[in-house]
Amino acid sequence: MKFAEFYQRSIDTPEQFWRDEATLIDWNTPYTQVLDYSRPPFAKWFVGGQTNLCHNAVDRWCATQGEQAALIAISTETNTEKTYSFNELKTEVERCAAVMLALGVGRGDRVLIYMPMIAEAAFAMLACARIGAIHSVVFGGFAANSLASRIDDAKPVLIVSADAGSRNGKAIPYKHLLDEAIDLSAAKPAKVLLVDRGLAPMALVEGRDVDYATLRAAHLDASVAVTWLESNEPSYILYTSGTTGKPKGVQRDVGGYAVALASSMKYNFCGKAGETFFATSDIGWVVGHSYIVYGPLIAGMATIMYEGLPICPDAGIWWSIVEKYKVTRMFSAPTAIRVLRKQPPEFMRKYDLSSLRALYLAGEPLDETTSQWISDELGVPIIDNYWQTETGWPILSIAKGVEDKPTRLGSPGVAMYGYKVKLLNESTGEECGANEKGVVVIDGPLPPGCMQTVYGDDQRFVDTYWNTFSGQQVYSTFDWGVRDADGYYFILGRTDDVINVAGHRLGTREIEESISSHANVSEVAVVGVEDKLKGQVAIAFAIVKHPEQIATAEGRQALEREIMGVVDHQLGAVARPARVYFVPQLPKTRSGKLLRRSIQAICEGRNPGDLTAIEDPASLQQIKSALLV
Largest CA distance in the chain: 73
Say yes or no to pLDDT of 67 above 90: yes
Whole-angstrom CA distances from 115 to 154, 172, 280, 446 are 17, 11, 16, 31
**Residue 616 reports pLDDT greater than 80:** no
Q: Read off the pLDDT of residues 162-174 as tens digits, 9 standing for 90 and up.
A: 999 999 999 999 9
In the 8-state DSSP scheme, what is residue 260? H
pLDDT of residue 513: 78
pLDDT at 610: 59
Q: Does residue 16 register a pLDDT over 90?
A: yes
Alpha helices in 132-237 (DSSP H): 144-154, 175-184, 212-217
Cα 280 to Cα 73, 117, 277: the distances in Å are 12, 10, 10
Could you report the per-residue pLDDT of 253-266, keeping only the tens digit for each? Answer: 999 999 999 999 99
**pLDDT value of position 597:** 79
Domains and CATH numbers, the chain: 421-494 (2.30.38.10), 501-628 (3.30.300.30)
Q: Give pLDDT, residue 512.
A: 85
Q: Say whether pLDDT at 160 is over 90.
A: yes
Over residues 454-470, the pLDDT tens digits come to: 999 999 999 999 999 99
pLDDT of residue 112 exceeding 90: yes
For residues 241 and 507, the answer to whether their CB atoms sit within 8 Å is yes
Q: Could you report how far apart the first and last alpha carbons of the chain are, in Å?
A: 59
